[in-house]
Amino acid sequence: MGALTAKTGSLSPVSKSSSLASSEVSIGSLSLGAQDIHASETYRRGLLPSRQTFVEYNGYRFLITDSPSDVELPSYIETLRSHNVKHVVRVCEPLYDAGELIASNFKVHDWCFEDGGMPNDAIVNSWLKLVDFIFDSKRDGYNAKETIAVHCKAGLGRAPVLVALALMELGMEPINAIGLIRFKRRGAINGQQLQELVRYQKRDSDAKGQSKPKRRFSGRPILFGRRRNSVKDNLVELSTM
């Protein structure tokens, strides 16, 4: 893998109405941009990440965000459309009515797991299956500009973890995947999540090149605050994507 290079614009004092200057990271074909500052519960880490973080690596495109509220849904929908998003992955308790997204022709995947924790194997497998499907250049309806949006409550833990897993499955070393996401989205991925990602085992492949799932984490998902032992895509079956 080529050397990591970074170009960062100068920073100006941050106020409620200010934003960070543009920044860019490149590694291989990875490209990371910068968005507007969003002051929210992320103050708990003393950091102000961009509200939306776009990550592109080897043609795989992801948009990490915090969770919109019902009031913010119209602007959120415009953001999704501007990034060619069709699938939205929600990994936190719902803070908005997903019906409005569905009515706007987005497919929503509810794969909630514990805040600050790791997804269980069922969620990881569902996530990677979605990634494989969206970025399969041989499928009908493939769009090279399509992006998967993934969000948790603040966009600092659960959502970045899923994107890190995808980058690692694409061949990036764990520490590089984590570092790149943290460079763009300051405060992302806590210490426990970092340790679990470093220990992550990628999918096996059989002689025909088919990916075979294997046990990775001990985490269990929760649904709307209640733990459960299996995951089901509540709003769209992956087989009908």
What local confidence, expressed as pLDDT, does residue 51 receive? 84
What local confidence, expressed as pLDDT, does residue 31 receive? 43
- The catalytic residue among 112, 115, 132, 233 is 115
pTM value? 0.69
Q: Using an 8 Å Cβ cutoff, are 149 and 73 in contact?
A: no
- The most confident of the ranges 38-42, 177-181, 217-221 is 177-181
pLDDT tens digits along 27-61: 444 444 433 333 334 434 445 556 899 999 999 99
Task: Locate 34 and state its tokens.
Answer: 């910068």
Question: Tell me, what amino acid is at 140?
Answer: D
The reply to whether 112 belongs to the active site is no
- The catalytic residue among 66, 92, 112, 152 is 152
Backbone angles phi, psi at 89, to 5 degrees: -105, 120
Residue 102 pLDDT exceeds 90: yes
The reply to whether 204 belongs to the active site is no
Average pLDDT over every residue of 137-154: 93
- Backbone conformation region of residue 218, classed left if phi is above 0, alpha if psi is from -120 to 50, else beta: alpha
Tell me yes or no: is domain 16-202+209-230 CATH 3.40.50.11720: no
Q: Using an 8 Å Cβ cutoff, are 148 and 62 in contact?
A: yes
